[in-house]
Amino acid sequence: MAVKVIMTWDIAAERDQEYFEFVIGEFIPGVQRLGFQPAEAWATIYGSYPQIQVGLLATDEPQARRILASGDWAILQDRLFGFIKNYAHKIVPARGGFQF
């Protein structure tokens, strides 16, 4: 069964430009190389919710867990952590539409 890795975070203060350059130039291509399929990205405009939510699809939960446990993911995640705060992720069964 396909799963979705839902990740949330806030962009660190004063890092917006570098964050967006990293996400477009490195993060998205990196997650695709690892085997995830980017499915969605959401930005919170108002309220006390995480600023960014990203959904990545995997064929099944074992594949998602293998990717998240890989050294290549750790490198990509460490780079992401240089631009964000309040990171969280979870693996859920994939379904159509918005999932939180």
Which structure tokens are listed for 100? 């939180």
**DSSP one-letter string for 7-50:** EEEEEPTT-HHHHHHHIIIIIHHHHHHHT-EEEEEEE--SSSS-
What is the residue-averaged pLDDT of the chain? Answer: 95
Residues 56, 38: Cα–Cα separation, whole Å: 5
Record the pTM: 0.91
In a domain, 76, yes or no: yes
Range of the domain at 14: 3-93
**Tens of pLDDT, residues 8-55:** 999 999 989 999 999 999 999 999 999 999 999 999 989 889 999 999
In a domain, 73, yes or no: yes
In a domain, 70, yes or no: yes
Q: Could you give the number of structural domains in the chain?
A: 1
